[in-house]
Structure 1
Amino acid sequence: MPINQEHKLSLLTDILKNQMEQHQMTTDEYDQISRLLSSLLNESALSNTQLEQTFMAIQQHHYGNNSGFSDTDVEQWLQTIEQYKTQ
């Protein structure tokens, strides 16, 4: 059963929060972020430019970086995702 956009955003949020708390990423989390970002960016229902830019920023920081993200970046990304989810 495919997951919808809301579930994908929740999963991405959970992974980012976990990474921020633990300051590391497992290989599975790294792979899952890649799949989620690819899927979310390809969805035709994605009409929020700021959210799309956030996904692209995560993707840019993500590729080639399996050591994790900075807390500042993650907090900013989470804030943008949460704003979109409450609209």
Structure 2
Amino acid sequence: MPDQRSATKPHYTAGVIQRLATANNVAVVVTPNDVFAHHVTRLSGDDVNFDPIEKTIVALQRAGILDRVQAVRLQARYLRESRP
């Protein structure tokens, strides 16, 4: 029996995230706190760079469209699909 994960289209979740943002008029906006946090993590040697889809998940959470658990689950699903 084939694995269900392999049957999922590779960018399906990215499309879901983009459509959710479009439907709710949510856009990624970089705040001064985002810039500060980026520099703090970079200087601590823990530099993490979100791609545009992950930034959209954060924007959806900030807008109240997703709660924390939903955002984490959606990001995990996206990462499973997008990473080899």
Question: Is TM-score (shorter-chain normalized) higher than 0.5?
Answer: no
Structure with greater helix percent:
1
Normalising by the smaller structure, the TM-score range is: 0.3 to 0.5
| TM-score normalised per structure 1 | 0.32
| TM-score normalised per structure 2 | 0.33
